[in-house]
Amino acid sequence: MFGLDAFELARIQFAFTISFHIIFPAITIGLASYLAVLEGLWLKTQQAVYRDLYHFWSKIFAVNFGMGVVSGLVMAYQFGTNWSRFSDFAGSVTGPLLTYEVLTAFFLEAGFLGVMLFGWTRVGRGLHFFATVMVAIGTLLSTFWILASNSWMQTPQGHAIVDGRVIPVDWFAVVFNPSFPYRLTHMAIAAFLSTAFLVGASAAWQLLRGRDNPAVRKMLSMAMWMALFVAPIQVLVGDAHGLNTMKYQPAKIAAIEGHWENKAGEGVPLILFGWPDMQRETIRFAVEIPRLGSLILTHSLDQPIPALKDFAPRDRPNATIVFWSFRIMVGLGLLMIAVGLCSAWLRWRGRLYQSILFLRFVLAMGASGIVALLAGWFTTEVGRQPWVVYGLLRTREGVSNHGALQMSVSLIIFILVYLSVFGVGVRYLLRLIRKGPLSAETHPSGGPGQQRSPARPLSAVLEDIDDDADADIKGRNNSSDQSDESRS
């Protein structure tokens, strides 16, 4: 297909399915923590606005969680079907880590999700809050395991190679490999920011439509505090992650910088924009700032940084992709900081909820967190090529022995099915978000073995997929037998 060989098609298929999948868990991670904060604030302040927001976002959390489970099903099998030689080579290390991720997720589902989604009127407040907090911690634990696996593939240690395969020797060293703490922190914060910008944009949309109420304001306000404080923290974490990458994966840094060679005694410029040309071994149309590259990466004005020509052509990642995906991520990160600063200024001037221009900006930034997150993953994954386990196994050596025709067919099937199935799912999510928070939201009852059950999180949501917002509100008021009014 398009002159691509089976190996390249397998990579595209993996990139497509994992990119689709990661969006849902990222929002799950962010929303779980957001919900824990909301419920904590509700218990502490007793302000109804926190309770209403909790109910509103817990519906979106439920649908999103369901989408994550469905899209994750494919991931558990894809390593074997398309990357069988990698699975045989590294399965002794990555397999158990993946198993722990799966076990954590199911533990969460069986233990606490039910109480969180269905227990509002049936258990005490403290216990319900505990369940929400456990779900939030559980999503982070799942992140912990899967990022341990990914980070080990980036910076492997704690293993031995016996008979041409990896054998774990020291699990502590395997899990806490050099890039793991940075990657975990960077990813968790990225999930928080993705969620914050989604929340902020939904509030901005409501305000722009003239639907102004305390819950909507609270949403915007909380999201903007996140943008103001957490976006800059993410830049610092990203910088530390970058220095760690320079130490362990210098070729990735060279590709990110689009930097081909060092000249003796000269500082390295920072190339803002340009077109890294892999064939000609140069960067075309470069716009650069002298010495800034050295300053950022070595914190000095004249130290050299890794350059692509230091590596044999077969060991170089594709700088054209990495250079740009990195800049998309950083650019969006800077825009997020700008949103945070604007919000602080407008808040100080008392116009946070009124400035049309600003609200439009926030709305436009709604998907920025998700896009930046994907761009970041593209940077780190394309940037570690040609290795699938860094320095140990080349990606091309890890692929299954399928033909290009078979890989083309399966890729097309995946694209069609994902776009249709998750298209409906995402449309449903957006419909729910568009409705906005209402006071005294209904809260369905359910639990293990009941018609609404935690392992089918979508059943926690009452709305139809195609109802328009107004009809839905009407229908709901008639059927709100399980309203939490009875408790509050």
Partner 1 sequence: MGVDLALIWAMIIVFGIMMYVVMDGFDLGIGMLFPFVKEEAKRDVMMNTVAPVWDGNETWLVLGGACLFGAFPLAYSVVLDALSMPLLLMLIGLIFRGVAFEFRFKSKDHERHLWDKAFIGGSLTATICQGMALGAFIEGFPVVDRQYAGGPLDWITPFSIFCGLALIVAYTLLGCTWLIMKTEGSLQTQMRRLATPLAWLLLVVIGAISIWTPLAHSSIAQRWFSLPNFFWFMPVPILVLLSLVMLLRAVKIDAHVTPFLFTLLLIFLGYSGLGISLWPNIIPPSISIWQAAAPPQSQGFMLVGALFIIPFILGYTAWSYYVFRGKVTHDQGYH
466 binds partner 1 (CB under 8 A): yes
Q: Which of 54, 61, 79, 120 binds partner 1 (CB under 8 A)?
A: 79
103 binds partner 1 (CB under 8 A): yes
3-state secondary structure the chain: CCCCCHHHHHHHHHHHHHHHHHHHHHHHHHHHHHHHHHHHHHHHHCCHHHHHHHHHHHHHHHHHHHHHHHHHHHHHHHHHHHCHHHHHHHHHHHHHHHHHHHHHHHHHHHHHHHHHHHCCCCCCHHHHHHHHHHHHHHHHHHHHHHHHHHHHHHCCCCEEEECCEEEECCHHHHHCCCCHHHHHHHHHHHHHHHHHHHHHHHHHHHHHCCCCCHHHHHHHHHHHHHHHHHHHHHHHHHHHHHHHHHHHCHHHHHHHHCCCCCCCCCCCCEEEEEEEECCCCEEEEEEEECCHHHHHHHCCCCCCCCCHHHCCHHHCCCHHHHHHHHHHHHHHHHHHHHHHHHHHHHHHHCCCCCCHHHHHHHHHCCCHHHHHHHHHHHHHHHHCCCEEECCCEEHHHHCCCCCHHHHHHHHHHHHHHHHHHHHHHHHHHHHHHHHCCCCCCECCCCCCCCCCCCCCHHHHCCCCCCCCHHHHHHHHHHCCCCEHHHCC
458 binds partner 1 (CB under 8 A): yes
70 binds partner 1 (CB under 8 A): yes
Q: Which of 3, 210, 350, 449 binds partner 1 (CB under 8 A)?
A: 449
Q: Which of 39, 52, 101, 441 binds partner 1 (CB under 8 A)?
A: 101
150-169: contacts with partner 1 (CB under 8 A):
162, 167-169
- Count residues near partner 1 (CB under 8 A): 70
Q: Which of 2, 3, 44, 77 binds partner 1 (CB under 8 A)?
A: 77
Nearer to partner 1, 259 or 431 (CB): 431
168-207: contacts with partner 1 (CB under 8 A):
168-169, 171
CB of 420 to partner 1, least distance (A): 9
484 binds partner 1 (CB under 8 A): no
370-409: contacts with partner 1 (CB under 8 A):
400-403, 406
Nearer to partner 1, 51 or 59 (CB): 59
Nearer to partner 1, 88 or 288 (CB): 88
Going residue by residue from 256 to 295, which x/- string records binding to partner 1, judged by CB under 8 A? ----------------------------------------
76 binds partner 1 (CB under 8 A): yes
107 binds partner 1 (CB under 8 A): yes
Taking contact as CB under 8 A, which single stretch among the options 62-70, 261-269, 278-286, 294-302 is the one that binds partner 1?
A: 62-70
Which residues of this protein are in contact with partner 1, per CB under 8 A? 66, 69-70, 72-74, 76-77, 79-82, 84-88, 90-104, 106-107, 109-111, 162, 167-169, 171, 400-403, 406, 410, 413, 417, 421, 424-425, 428, 447-453, 455-456, 458-459, 461, 463-466
